[in-house]
Amino acid sequence: MSDAETARHAGETDPFGRQAQEINRERLISSEADRAEMAGAAAHLAEHGYAVLPDMLDAEGLEAARTALDPINEANRWGVYEFEGKRTKRVYSLLSLSRDFDFMAADRRMIALIESRFGESPVISAAQGMTLHGGQSAQPLHRDDGHYAAPRPRPPFVVSCIWALDDFTADNGATMYVPGSHTGPGDTPPTTPPSQAIVPAGSVFVYDGALWHGGGEARGDSRRRAVNMIYCRPWLRQQENWTVTTPPEEAKHLPKIMQRLFGYWIYGFTLNTAFGTAPLKAHEMLKART
């Protein structure tokens, strides 16, 4: 029996059973070679709660990302409350505004690192442009997985990836974080003084969603551009609703990996179905009725 036949048989006989769930967990996006390449970063992420990936964008990639983000920032409002940052241009649902950032979301190294952390494929929970300007105060320390009301300790729910489009410095609001705080059981910020992610442009600062962190203070006339891709486990509710901001008529033209990351996919054999089939197939069924 082929792998596909085994999977189909498991789903048809007992979709809630152990075999069906084990088969589902093996359906990874990344290759074994990709995960081996990221093994060192995955180990550091697991132990310390963060990892720094240098040289993820070359000069050409940096310029392309900046050129794509700058006009979106220009058209976007300033933050309206303190957590957003009143001197911050925070662009929500970035992947629904421009296809120029898909390559970050679907980067094979990033997916391999996250799948190593989760043991299963992720979905994109949120994708945001985050540009801090001088005068921005430091953000309160927080956890990106704090909106999931499940008791700790628990398996990792979220991995966040901040792509630095400018050098992150102590003066332009480099991300603050407390190493190792992802293992803390409570919901009270640690008293340990935070470190800062001083990284060059083109790097990615990756951290567990349970790590206590926050944007730093930006001083003078500085500007610090970044893109944050937040991934979660596929059975959790995503932070941003991609089926609204990237509706089926648009999603059906995207590469399969982006459809999968947005959540236009069946998890296991039962979750996220529509009329008993995959969401995009159900959309075509609905269209045929009209």
Reported as a pLDDT band with limits 50, 70 and 90, residue 286 is: confident
User: Do 178 and 276 belong together in one domain?
Assistant: no
Read off the pLDDT of each residue in 45-62 and give the average, rounded to a whole number: 98
Give tens-digit pLDDT for 55-103: 999 999 999 999 999 999 999 999 999 999 999 999 999 999 999 999 9
Reported as a pLDDT band with limits 50, 70 and 90, residue 289 is: confident
> What is the residue type of 6?
T
Specify the pTM.
0.92
User: Do 133 and 250 belong together in one domain?
Assistant: no
User: Do 98 and 151 belong together in one domain?
Assistant: yes
What is the pLDDT, as a whole number, of residue 21? 66
> Is the pLDDT score of 10 beyond 90?
no
User: Do 171 and 45 belong together in one domain?
Assistant: yes
Give tens-digit pLDDT for 163-184: 999 999 999 999 999 999 999 9
Q: Which residue has the tokens 């299963």?
A: 120
What is the pLDDT, as a whole number, of residue 26? 62
Q: Give how many domains the chain has, as a whole number.
A: 3
Query: Cα 269 to the chain's mean position, in Å?
Result: 24
User: Do 253 and 233 belong together in one domain?
Assistant: no
User: Do 45 and 131 belong together in one domain?
Assistant: yes
Q: Are 50 and 92 in contact (CB under 8 A)?
A: no
User: Do 165 and 254 belong together in one domain?
Assistant: no
User: Do 51 and 23 belong together in one domain?
Assistant: no
User: Do 145 and 57 belong together in one domain?
Assistant: yes
What CATH number does the domain containing 186 carry?
A: 2.60.120.620
Q: What are φ and ψ of residue 32, in 5° steps? A: -60, -35
> What is the residue type of 128?
Q
What are the residues facing 128 on neighbouring strands? 228
User: Do 114 and 154 belong together in one domain?
Assistant: yes
Give tens-digit pLDDT for 99-155: 999 999 999 999 999 999 999 999 999 999 999 999 999 999 999 999 999 999 999
Q: Are 171 and 220 in contact (CB under 8 A)?
A: yes
What is the pLDDT, as a whole number, of residue 287? 86
User: Do 15 and 120 belong together in one domain?
Assistant: no
User: Do 22 and 100 belong together in one domain?
Assistant: no
What is the pLDDT, as a whole number, of residue 269? 79
What residues make up the domain containing 21?
1-29
Give tens-digit pLDDT for 216-270: 999 999 999 999 999 999 999 999 999 999 999 999 999 999 999 999 998 887 8
> What is the residue type of 207?
Y
